[in-house]
Amino acid sequence: MSERRSDGEAGLESGDGDDAGTGGGDGAKPELEIPADLLAGHPTTAYFWGHVAGSGDVSAGNHAVRSDAPRERRSREQLEVTTTDEKSAQVLAVIAGGDVERDTTSREYAHDASITRTEDEYTLVIDGNDDGDNGLFGRTSTLGLPVDSRGTYRFGAFSSHDRELLRGLLEGCGTICFKSSSDTVGISFVHDDRQLLEVVRELIDDCPVDAPTGDLAETSSGGYWFGIDDAAAPAFGTWLYENCEETGLFAPSRRRKLERSLEQADAYDWSDERLE
């Protein structure tokens, strides 16, 4: 099942529109501040590129763009970013433009390939310029995006906005759960790119919350993952989503999952205290 909608139909606007912000009853509806340069250091761009790194893909796309040279055709670059939260997809569309496509997808669980889950996915599709002279966001190649010659993401421009960057990364390639085996909150990051996860671990190590991480390990589906230490996960998750309503840069479903997991963990802690 696929449904395409333009960013103008996404239900969010930058500026003075009535629907600006997250909507959906999750706090106020803040306006999104969007810098002219999507590579500039800003909370909005940090959140966007966190999502791109976590669940994005840059490809040649399905379109061929004719240049001025006779009979010559160039492939149009295309960026796709996938999320399971519709409001987050709408926010990303307001930030960068593009169309949002909705699909129902079944996929293997990263830690156990024998388990599958079916859920709605929302993919933001952004095409490069039609004239073929510039690629995505006016860059002549993907190296104009925040990646180096080896394809490793460079997040230095967003160092002052680590919370939004890490929030985008978590929503792009992270998981939040309640671990019934230990009555704690679990936060982990999963990706096929080992180098990206190493960068994420460094970002977490530099954040203001003490959040030790485990070593990288292989998943049963062929990727890699690491987790935040159980004792540090509640504080890290709380810091990550603190005051997020002020910017609108968050996935409401992820925040609700974190809040429910924290409530479950607190309930077990309270029960244990009564038994002592």
27: domain CATH number? 3.10.28.10
Query: What's residue 111's pLDDT?
Result: 56
pLDDT digits (tens, 9 = 90+) for 188-225: 999 999 999 999 999 999 999 999 999 999 998 889 99
How many domains are there within the chain? 1
Residues in the chain: 276
For the beta carbon of residue 258, count every other beta carbon within 10 angstroms.
22
Query: What's residue 181's pLDDT?
Result: 80
Q: What is the pTM of this model?
A: 0.80
Q: Report d(CA 89, CA 86) in Å as an integer.
A: 5
List Cα–Cα distances, 166 to 25, 64, 98, 117, 270, in angstroms. 24, 35, 23, 25, 30
For residue 97 the two structure tokens come to 């433009």
For residue 65, name the pLDDT band (cuts at 50, 70, 90). very low
Whole-angstrom distance between the N-terminal and C-terminal Cα of the chain? 53
Q: Please, which residues bridge with residue 63 across strands?
A: none
Q: What share of the chain is helix, strand, coil (3-state, %, to 5)?
A: 35, 25, 40
Lowest mean pLDDT across 111-120, 175-184, 254-263: 111-120
Residue 68 has pLDDT above 60, yes or no: no
Residue 89 has pLDDT above 80, yes or no: yes
Specify the higher pLDDT residue, 29 or 76: 76
Query: What's residue 61's pLDDT?
Result: 56
For residue 153, name the pLDDT band (cuts at 50, 70, 90). confident
Query: What's residue 152's pLDDT?
Result: 76
Lowest mean pLDDT across 50-59, 81-90, 113-122, 132-141: 132-141
Query: What's residue 138's pLDDT?
Result: 61
Mean pLDDT of 138-159: 74
For the beta carbon of residue 209, count every other beta carbon within 10 angstroms.
15
Please give the residue range of the domain that contains residue 64.
Answer: 3-275
Mean pLDDT of 80-98: 95
On whether the CB atoms of residues 20 and 9 are closer than 8 A, the answer is no
Q: Report d(CA 180, CA 9) in Å as an integer.
A: 40
- Tell me the helices (H) and strands (E) count for the chain, helix number first: 6, 11
Residue 144 has pLDDT above 50, yes or no: yes
Specify the higher pLDDT residue, 59 or 83: 83
What DSSP string runs through 133-197?
Answer: SS-GGG-SSGGGSSB-TTS-B--GGGGGGHHHHHHHHHHHHEEEEEETTTTEEEEEEEES-HHHH
Closest CA to 255 of 180, 191, 187: 187
Residue 161 has pLDDT above 80, yes or no: yes
pLDDT digits (tens, 9 = 90+) for 15-36: 433 333 344 444 444 589 999 8
Mean pLDDT of 173-186: 90
Residue 227 has pLDDT above 90, yes or no: yes
Mean pLDDT of 226-238: 96
